[in-house]
Structure 1
Amino acid sequence: MLQLDDIDQKIINLLQLDSRLSHKEIGQRVHRTGQAVGMRITQLIEQGIIQKYTITVNHQHKQFIQLYLNEQQSFTEVEYLVKQYSQIQECHKVLGKACYMVVSNFEPQDLNQFIEKISQWCRYSVETVIKTI
């Protein structure tokens, strides 16, 4: 695995703030050439440290949903179901009390529909975001 130095970390931080920055713009901020920045980014991608470039959309609604399986053999059904919803931004299989942590942006009526379907396999806890700080 690639060892991250201060320059790599600065490049990553800049890309997290704005993935549209050019190699030249990043280079000016980290005191390297655009070509040197491009080579570092390529290495970070090849090593799997940078996995994708993305944007953040400001959705009107956001929820954190914890799923607790009723039966251990329901993993396949739950994972298939969450993949069917474009409103689910992230789904993580986790250790702890819950089995899955879901980050979603359901409208209230769509959240109710999802909860009704997932309830055949899981108990759940929904935390709704009221303000992002």
Structure 2
Amino acid sequence: MDNIDKKIIRELQLNARISNEDLATKVNLSPSPCLRRVRKLESSGILQSYTAVIDQVKCGLAMNIFLSVRLEKPDKKNIGEFEAAIATMDEVVECYLMTGNRDYLLKVVSKDLQSYENFIREKLSELTGISSIESSFAFGQVKAQHFLPI
């Protein structure tokens, strides 16, 4: 990845709907080589998708909750089962395998406390192999950056 590729990535992070012609102008290329570079970034997996950034509060999902989850036995089988189950839960928008005193850190979005309680009782607590779940509620969001510093 050279400096022109990095410029392309920065521009697409700012506006994924930019036309190839406008993108080419911004990165000082003609349209054909610019499009070839974009296609190469896509085929290499660097550009994975083009998405919209959604205002979660306006969509009725005002709560951000971070969960620390510990497994009873974090072996290959339990890890695989837990990760497969989490992948099906729409409320979980991020999940990280961690080091330290927790096995996973989950970011969960919810419209209200009742919806969150239902998620815990009806989905997460039903999974086998969990030894503890600790919730931390975010009071507010200080920074949410979808732009990688490339």
- Change in CA separation of 1:19 and 1:63 when aligned onto 2, cut-off 3 Å: farther
- In structure 2, stretches of 5+ residues that fail to align are 57-61, 144-150
Amino acid at match of 2:142: T
**CA 1:46/1:81 → structure 2, altered by over 3 Å: closer, same or farther?**
same
Q: Where does residue 118 of structure 2 map in the other structure?
A: 113
Extract structure 1 runs of 4+ deviating beyond 4 A.
none
What is the CA-CA distance between 1:8 and the residue it aligns to? 0.8
Residues 1:52 and 1:118: Cα distance change in structure 2 (over 3 Å) = same
SS at match of 1:105: strand
User: Match of 2:73?
Assistant: 71
The structural deviation recorded for 1:94 is 3.2
Note the aligned Cα RMSD (angstroms).
2.2
Contact 1:78 1:118 in 2 (8 A): no
- CA distance, structure 1, for counterparts of residue 131 and residue 15 of structure 2: 38
Alignment equivalent of 2:18, drawn from 7, 15, 21: 21
Q: Distance in 1 between matches of 2:51 and 2:93?
A: 12
Give the number of equivalent residue pairs: 130
Q: Which moved more, 1:100-109 or 1:10-19?
A: 100-109
Tell me the residue number matched to 2:148: none
Separation in 2, partners of 1:29, 1:81: 43
* Conservation of the 8 A alpha-carbon contact between 1:64 and 1:127: yes
| Overall identity of the aligned pairs, in % | 25
Greater relative contact order (CA < 8 Å, ≥ 6 in sequence):
2
- Per the alignment, residue 36 of structure 1 pairs with 33
Are 2:59 and 1:49 aligned?
Answer: no
